[in-house]
A and B are shown apart, each in its own frame.
Chain A
Amino acid sequence: MPRLLPRSILHAQSENPLLAKLLPTCRSLASARNELRWLREHAIDHHATERSPASKGDNNNWRARLKELVARRARGEPLQYVLGTEWFGDLELVCRPGVLIPRPDTATAIGYLVQRMLERDPHKWRKTLRVLDLCTGSGCVSLFFQHEWIRFMPVIPEIRTIGVDLSPKAISLAQLNRDRLLRTKHEDVERHKASQASHFYDTAFIESLSNTSFLHADVLEESQLWQKLEAEHSLAADILLANPPYISRWGFQHSTERSVRRHEPKMALVPPLPFSIPGKDCPKRADSDDLGDLFYEPLVKTALKSDAKIVWFEVADIEQAARVAHLITSMASARPEQLELWREEPMPGIEGLEGKDEIYQGFIVKGRGNGRSVVWWRDG
């Protein structure tokens, strides 16, 4: 982390004392300015909803509230917990301490997944589409996948989505996010009764949101998970999505941002210790016992059991992506051509028009940035 220059601290102080408070957390003037603007908008908006907008002394009250918000952010609390929401693609989702904040990389990957399904065979999915989202957290992947499907796919079948998480906090937040979207979409339908195009989209989204449920279960205990899913008549799936905890204990100590380590739930970031290696808390460096890969084996088993046609897993980096791809080829005897490793920006850029894909350890790699996900086209 580069040191803050005294010059930039003075500059911030002279511009706005609150800006200087944010600077150590935000690390740059531009980012501090943006966050201060968003915090101010939030303070004013909330103030307006709490009281009648014309009440006296309004001005000072939102300023006091802004000061509190800035103090919280300056202590390193994630901006999304301070503001209470985060944008995930076009969806605004509620964030609460105890549940992982949705990351933009995940939204990019899900958007690209739908785009690729559109390019491959958009008319294939005519029957009920069953989506299984394991380690759902805030519900972001479940909710965004159906949103993108309805927005881009020419055929909209009945979509049944089920999200699974071990944390009760995550389950209740995911349900809250689903209900909140349902409410806003109902309001949109009321408001835009005349406009046909958005009405069609909104009603389809309302229907698929009503077919979305969240289940409390442990993904690592696959037989119990299958029983629970069977009881809900939802073990069979067409699409399996998972963003499990994937950071190694070494990576958590050395390459994970401090604000993430201190404020976000560790159970959503680092897989638990397998029982075979007791008492190993923080190894000196990444070794074969500590790769953060614990979740992928039960995930592949569930993918096989549910007979999913398209499988997407998020991973930490290109090395883990290759390890997961090797795991899939060995466990499920999948052909390497069925697998793709995606980077943070998987979509082809201008240079991608040349049509040459990078190959890493025998697997196709798409896009630019760090390795971010593994996609298994079981139907391909």
Chain B
Amino acid sequence: MRAVLRPRTLLHYVRNVIPNRQFSTSPALLKSLPGPLPPILDTDITENFLKGSGPGGQKINKTNSAVQILHHPTGLIVKCQETRSRSQNRKIARRRLAERIEELQLGSEARTAKKAAKEAKKKSSATKKRRRKYRQLDAAKRLDDNEGEEDADDVNEPNEVEEVKQGKLDGVENKDKAKESSPGSLV
């Protein structure tokens, strides 16, 4: 049975799979791109321009361009007063509403949730780096102090410690260099 089946699957592979494979010089996308945001129907929302009562037209010159959208199916309310242009605020509010609806539908798979997770990861990695940097600086300082007491005549080692300090203070580019000559290796 196997001997009969195998050529067929091979043929299938040659005929169907290979021609459909995309050849590209750029690396393959590992993450799938998010689909389009859910569309918002005009009949589902009420737009409110939040301008209060009283006379209008030529009598009043309001700078309030705020827009508030109520989405009836979900009961979500989104407000936007970012720009001076009401039509731009409307667009922003609609996009935000679409994002909120997607959040409700997809939960952690929504683009806003993914973005937030990415930001959080970035932030935690940055804090980790910062903590490591200060730990190293502290250690270097302690070492410096100790050597000042014990090994005053040694010329070589304080310089090396000095280099560690410099490298760390300059920022990220010198990170690897500083790692190599970390305080642990000096002792």
Which residues in A have some Cβ–Cβ distance to B below 8 Å? Answer: 26, 30-31, 34-35, 38, 78-80, 83, 86-87, 89-90, 92, 100-101, 103-107, 243, 245-247, 251, 255-257, 259-260, 264, 268-269, 314-317, 344-345, 349-350, 353, 369-370, 372
State the Cβ distance, A157 to closest chain B Cβ, in Å. Answer: 25
Pick from B49, B61, B87: contact of A89, CB below 8 A. B87
Q: Are B87 and A31 in contact (CB under 8 A)?
A: no
The stretch of B30-38, B52-60, B149-157, B162-170 that contacts the partner chain: B52-60
Q: Which residues of A contact B58 (CB under 8 A)?
A: 100, 103, 243, 245-247, 256, 260, 268-269, 314, 316
Interface residue B68 (Cβ < 8 Å from any Cβ of A)? no
Interface residue B63 (Cβ < 8 Å from any Cβ of A)? yes
Interface residue B88 (Cβ < 8 Å from any Cβ of A)? yes
Q: Please report the C-alpha to C-alpha distance between residue A38 and residue B86 in the assembled complex, in whole angstroms.
A: 14
Q: Are B85 and A78 in contact (CB under 8 A)?
A: no
Q: Which of B58, B65, B88 has the most CB of A within 10 A?
A: B58
Q: Please report the C-alpha to C-alpha distance between residue A255 and residue B54 in the assembled complex, in whole angstroms.
A: 9
The residue of chain B having its C-beta at the shortest distance from the C-beta of A268 within the complex is B58
Q: Are B57 and A79 in contact (CB under 8 A)?
A: no
Q: Which of A89, A103, A259 has the most CB of B within 10 A?
A: A103
Q: Are B57 and A78 in contact (CB under 8 A)?
A: no
Q: Please report the C-alpha to C-alpha distance between residue A251 and residue B75 in the assembled complex, in whole angstroms.
A: 40
Give 1 or 0 for each of B83-100: 1 = CB within 8 Å of chain A CB: 111111000000000000
Q: Are B56 and A370 in contact (CB under 8 A)?
A: yes
Q: Are A317 and B55 in contact (CB under 8 A)?
A: yes
Interface residue B43 (Cβ < 8 Å from any Cβ of A)? yes
Q: A31-B64, A35-B63, A257-B60 are in contact. Are A104 and B72 (CB under 8 A)?
A: no
Q: Are A259 and B61 in contact (CB under 8 A)?
A: yes
Q: Are A260 and B81 in contact (CB under 8 A)?
A: no
Please report whether the interface of chain A is mostly helix, strand, loop or mixed according to DSSP. mixed
Q: Which residues of A contact B108 (CB under 8 A)?
A: none
State the Cβ distance, B60 to closest chain A Cβ, in Å. Answer: 5
State the Cβ distance, B83 to closest chain A Cβ, in Å. Answer: 8
Interface residue B46 (Cβ < 8 Å from any Cβ of A)? yes
Q: A86-B84, A87-B88 are in contact. Are A316 and B57 (CB under 8 A)?
A: yes
Q: Which residues of A contact B65 (CB under 8 A)?
A: 87, 104
Q: Please report the C-alpha to C-alpha distance between residue A264 and residue B61 in the assembled complex, in whole angstroms.
A: 10
Pick from B57, B61, B81, B88: contact of A30, CB below 8 A. B81
Q: Please report the C-alpha to C-alpha distance between residue A74 and residue B81 in the assembled complex, in whole angstroms.
A: 21
Q: Please report the C-alpha to C-alpha distance between residue A245 and residue B59 in the assembled complex, in whole angstroms.
A: 10
Q: Are A251 and B56 in contact (CB under 8 A)?
A: no
Q: Please report the C-alpha to C-alpha distance between residue A379 and residue B55 in the assembled complex, in whole angstroms.
A: 32
Interface residues of B in 101-116 (CB under 8 A from A): none
Q: Which residues of A contact B60 (CB under 8 A)?
A: 103, 256-257, 260
New A-B pairs, 14, CB < 8 Å, besides A104-B86, A260-B59? A83-B84, A89-B87, A100-B58, A103-B57, A105-B57, A107-B86, A257-B60, A259-B61, A260-B58, A268-B58, A316-B59, A349-B46, A369-B56, A372-B56
Q: Are B55 and A370 in contact (CB under 8 A)?
A: yes
State the Cβ distance, A74 to closest chain B Cβ, in Å. Answer: 14
Q: Are A34 and B63 in contact (CB under 8 A)?
A: yes
Q: Are B59 and A251 in contact (CB under 8 A)?
A: yes
Q: Which residues of B contact A349 (CB under 8 A)?
A: 46
Pick from B57, B64, B84: contact of A314, CB below 8 A. B57
Q: Which residues of A contact B59 (CB under 8 A)?
A: 247, 251, 255-257, 260, 269, 316
Q: Please report the C-alpha to C-alpha distance between residue A78 and residue B60 in the assembled complex, in whole angstroms.
A: 11
Q: Please report the C-alpha to C-alpha distance between residue A259 and residue B60 in the assembled complex, in whole angstroms.
A: 8
Q: Which residues of A contact B88 (CB under 8 A)?
A: 87, 90
Q: Which residues of B contact A350 (CB under 8 A)?
A: 43, 46, 72
State the Cβ distance, B128 to closest chain A Cβ, in Å. Answer: 32
Q: Which residues of B contact A89 (CB under 8 A)?
A: 87
Q: Which residues of A contact B63 (CB under 8 A)?
A: 26, 31, 34-35, 79-80
Q: Which residues of B contact A245 (CB under 8 A)?
A: 58
Q: Which residues of B contact A87 (CB under 8 A)?
A: 65, 83-88
Pick from B43, B57, B85: contact of A90, CB below 8 A. B85
Q: Which of B56, B64, B85, B86 has the most CB of A within 10 A?
A: B56
Q: List 11 A-B contacts (CB under 8 A).
A: A34-B81, A80-B61, A87-B65, A87-B85, A87-B88, A103-B57, A103-B61, A251-B55, A269-B59, A316-B59, A370-B57
Q: Please report the C-alpha to C-alpha distance between residue A337 and residue B61 in the assembled complex, in whole angstroms.
A: 33
Q: Which residues of A contact B84 (CB under 8 A)?
A: 38, 83, 86-87
Q: Which residues of B contact A34 (CB under 8 A)?
A: 63-64, 81
Q: A86-B84, A350-B43 are in contact. Are A344 and B56 (CB under 8 A)?
A: yes
The residue of chain A having its C-beta at the shortest distance from the C-beta of B49 within the complex is A345
State the Cβ distance, A230 to closest chain B Cβ, in Å. Answer: 30
Q: Please report the C-alpha to C-alpha distance between residue A353 and residue B72 in the assembled complex, in whole angstroms.
A: 14
Q: Which residues of B contact A243 (CB under 8 A)?
A: 58
Q: Which residues of A contact B86 (CB under 8 A)?
A: 87, 104, 107
State the Cβ distance, A91 to closest chain B Cβ, in Å. Answer: 9
